[in-house]
Amino acid sequence: MNAELIFQNEIKLTALHIICPFSSMQVEIAEGFSRLKSRLDEIKNRVDHTKIIGFYPQSSDAPDENICHYYLGVEVANHDVVPEQLISITIPSGQFVSYKYNGQKNVTNTLY
């Protein structure tokens, strides 16, 4: 897996917000991936039907530093319709570290 520094224009996502202790992050993210994948047909205005984007913010206003906030989402053209239990997120343009992963869902935390 190769990481690269990219410039990304603003991107709109419809996403699942996963909140869990870091100790259960691997299991929660794998389960969240399956939940989001089963709901993809509910998400309207998807831009890329082949890509799921996962990320966590580098900083958070959350008071508990032992809790992981992770997001799994798909890019959408707009936030007109957001299915229940999902959220809309707009990530501003900027530089990001990016990598593509194809493989088992239960080993993703070892990649960080």
Q: Per residue, what are the HEC states of 13-78?
A: EEEEEEEEEHHHHHHHHHHHHHHHHHCHHHCCCECCCCCCEEECCCCCCCCCCCEEEEEEEEEECC
The phi and psi torsions of 36 (rounded to 5 degrees) equal -65, -45
* pLDDT tens readout for residues 21-41: 888 888 998 999 999 999 999
Residue 72: what residue type? L
Structure tokens at 7: 């410039």
pTM: 0.79
Q: Is the pLDDT of residue 43 over 60?
A: yes
6 falls in which pLDDT band (50, 70, 90)?
A: confident
Is the distance from CB of 87 to CB of 17 less than 8 angstroms? yes
